[in-house]
Structure 1
Amino acid sequence: MEKAKSRPRGTGIRLPGNAEDALRSLNRKTNESFARQVSELNVRLQQAGANLHYHNGFIQISEDILVQTEIEEPFWRLVSDPMWKNVDTDMKESLDLRDSRGRDPSWYAARALESTIKIISENKGWTNGRERGAHNYVDNLASKNAKFIEFWEADILKGFFTNVRNPFGHGPGNAPMPALTVQQTDWAIEFCMSWIKGLVRRY
């Protein structure tokens, strides 16, 4: 009995291999299997003429296959990282509002774009605390120290925030309520998605 009590613990049978490697392999295979099933689902939806597309836990209306494959699918893959969770949240809200004909979906898409720019500026150490709006953060990315984007790219981004986002961010007073057409809304969302995708890839 005394010998049994004094026997060192942890001397049982050990299985070969690394447990962490095994878990990573299992996780990779699970993700690959899920991706294949999602791809098959989207193909079947397309073949059925449903104009629907599953991505990132949501089924959204999708009427343009080229936009879907070249912009939307790469976009959702890139923003799945927790770093971009606010970008992901606002863009989902934008698409939900668009699909339900809700109010100002482009505003949420612009929020997602602005968040992307802010995250990059802050994480790269270019934010100085004197920023007052999106234009200043865009300038941070185009500054001589950063050179993350070119000046002409900065002008495009500023133009979008000035002419598309800002009218929806302030009360119109006695002026007509700002509104975009369906086509303009689609363009604004695709513009933001495309820019976010490009900025995240550069990051």
Structure 2
Amino acid sequence: MSPQVDGYLDQEPVDPDEQALQVARAHGTTVAAIWSGRSTSAVRRLRQEVDGYDRGPGRPSLAEMAAMGVRWECPCPRCAEHRSQEATRSAFRHNATRVKVSLVDVTGWRDRAACLGLTPDPWFPFETSHEAYADARTICQACTVASDCLRFALANRILDGMFGGLTPPERRRFTIALVPQAAAS
């Protein structure tokens, strides 16, 4: 036995014929053939040998067509794969939505910022000396939401540009100064 990928418990290897039969029993020969990469006649022969199934060739019935879709309650390997993929997609969508909502809630202060509508060049200069930020610092000192701006930059770990009147090196020192206070409380 070898460990499965993604940390699942050790499991016995599964017979591909048995997996194809499980899918065929749950969803029909055509779906099992597509899922397993076999021909429909090969899946039909397998079902005849193991289950005694004898529908014969031809188009699927309405009942068989209704059974072709993926069902959450179905225990077959095809539906299990879909459930796993859907859970991953759902988690990704949930995280993406959560981030968007939190940014909307956190950034309402931007409408009241003194820098609103100004070119970002003074806040993101090519030269990163203290003097390069002089114009931005003057505007930030008069801003009523500078503390919210600084909080936003710290919470989102923004490394470049001036936020809340502090340059990147000043924000790093500010963050380092806050760490011992948080540990003491």
Give TM class, smaller chain. under 0.3
Length-normalised TM-score, structure 1: 0.22
Q: Which has the higher contact order (CA 8 A, sep 6+)?
A: 1
Larger Rg: 2
